[in-house]
Amino acid sequence: MKPVRGPLKYDIYVIPSLGGQPARITDDATQELEPHWSPDCTEMVFPSNRGGNWDIWTIKASSVSATADLTWGKVKALFR
């Protein structure tokens, strides 16, 4: 039997340091890689291709669905 291959999908999870269930932070059909916490641990930044390009995105730790593209909007404004 041949393995089924599809587009790669990577999500970000947070795992409690004292044990417990991992919590999914991102959940979509794109790739999110190498997350980094802000110094106050209220948000996370990560590269993702969710906008069609590889850009840097941010997400607040308290809201799984609210993300913001930090790079493409600024680059796009240069070409207006």
Of 1-10, 16-25, 37-46, 49-58, the least confident: 1-10
- The torsion defined by the Cα of 36, 32, 58 and 74, in degrees rounded to 10, comes to 120
> Which two structure tokens, joined as six digits, stand for 17?
């340091």
Q: Are 20 and 12 in contact (CB under 8 A)?
A: no
User: Is this prediction's pTM over 0.75?
Assistant: no
How sure is the predictor about 24, in pLDDT bands with cuts at 50, 70 and 90? confident
